[in-house]
Structure 1
């Protein structure tokens, strides 16, 4: 259980719906709902009764909500007391941090990471921007204080081979590739998918390959690419039609991204998604400290 989950619960109850609360606190409805589902799973009972008209508290949920208000209030008091004493470690970091993100990372990992980081470092001004991977590298190359987080397949060697001399890559995590599809898809009941099986169906490229449409498997299988886009809602609509596929990975599954889909591992081991931190070698010590602290928070969720 995390403070952010209790804060989310309070916001949802005050707003009357998950949708309204998500707009107020600037995270996706899917991420907010998944965080509350995780809290319910941890406690072992339903907190919120979800309907088309909004949400209401269950009988146990009333107890949790009342306790959440007390816990969050006490947490705030603790921070105030630390601030007054001058001993608050949360105040030790300040400044501005521009973060450039692959959309796949933005929708799956970043909501929780951002909330956690801002709780710990409330004096840091963080600006998040979704960009394609080549644009992320260009921004970091031009702005030493900026940092990027890129998700790209290791099969796309051009990305690593063309990094500017003043930019460094730090590998944070490798992920096996999954394929997501509607439960109505002809392959939805498979336990693993082969390259030959997915070649017969239309494929959506969501951001992974950038605006040129490059994608993880382009050098190993001839896929029918229906669309290359970074529009999440368009991807969902096409997937719901039942015959298309899209790349997926474990953070999608944990966070409930494309939660109407089934996510099936691809039976190929030598091609993976790799998450890199992209940073400028000429960053100042203060800028290094900001990016390393943010990266440490991110790594807690990988």
Structure 2
């Protein structure tokens, strides 16, 4: 498996679409599909389930992505070190998040406002729960994570054990998606109370 194939597999896992991943990677869909098939043949296991709704990870695929993501991040850091040594002491900031759609907009705005200083900002997304490990191992400078109330104490203990400093940014309510077939779809307003959800299966 090549470095490019590692990057391709992670991009498809994140986008859930060969078409979108190919556009993001600036390669053809056929080249990306061939790369996926090549890796699946190499490991003798299916990594993605293919359907009309897109690409989803198999059970093995989730494990596969969890293993290759830190490898990809380490390679990215190594190449960044090579670039910085070739170009002098260029200031840099490496950010990792576990999937906030607005982070890329913030990073782009930061890049524009600090353009004169030559600051190089890189953004990684992680869906395998490895953000704290990436920061603790020095592969990123800043992480943006979401903490669920039920895991909060355990997460904070983990951060403290890794000597990471946690700063809360916002406290948000859980979002609920309701399909047209649900009786709650016709509810007035945009909010649904916990009492209204009480009679429905919950995860």
TM-score (norm 1): 0.32
Q: Which has the higher contact order (CA 8 A, sep 6+)?
A: 1
In terms of fraction of residues, the more helix-rich structure is 2
TM-score (norm 2): 0.46
